[in-house]
Amino acid sequence: MAQEYTNLDDLLNRNPKAKDFFESLPEDRQFNVRQYENNIHYDLDLRRYAEHLLRGGY
């Protein structure tokens, strides 16, 4: 079962791979992902939001 985190910051602070992935995103995408920070509880959530935004989603 996947590790659950309280929010994006908790995920980034406790999961080095998620942090590396997040930091590899362009700054504007990082900003956009942060708009959903309270909805991100799993590494997969982060990746899905990032992929959605990279395809032009809001």
Can you give the pTM of this predicted structure?
0.88
Query: Rounded CA gap, 26 and 1, in Å?
Result: 30
Distance, in Å, from the CA atom of 2 to the CA atom of 55, rounded to the nearest integer, reads 25
Give CA–CA dist 38/58, Å, rounded.
16
Distances (CA, A) of 2 to 36, 43, 45, 50: 19, 8, 11, 19
pLDDT digits (tens, 9 = 90+) for 3-54: 999 999 999 999 999 999 999 999 999 999 999 999 999 999 999 999 988 7
Nearest to 41 by CA among 26, 9, 1: 9
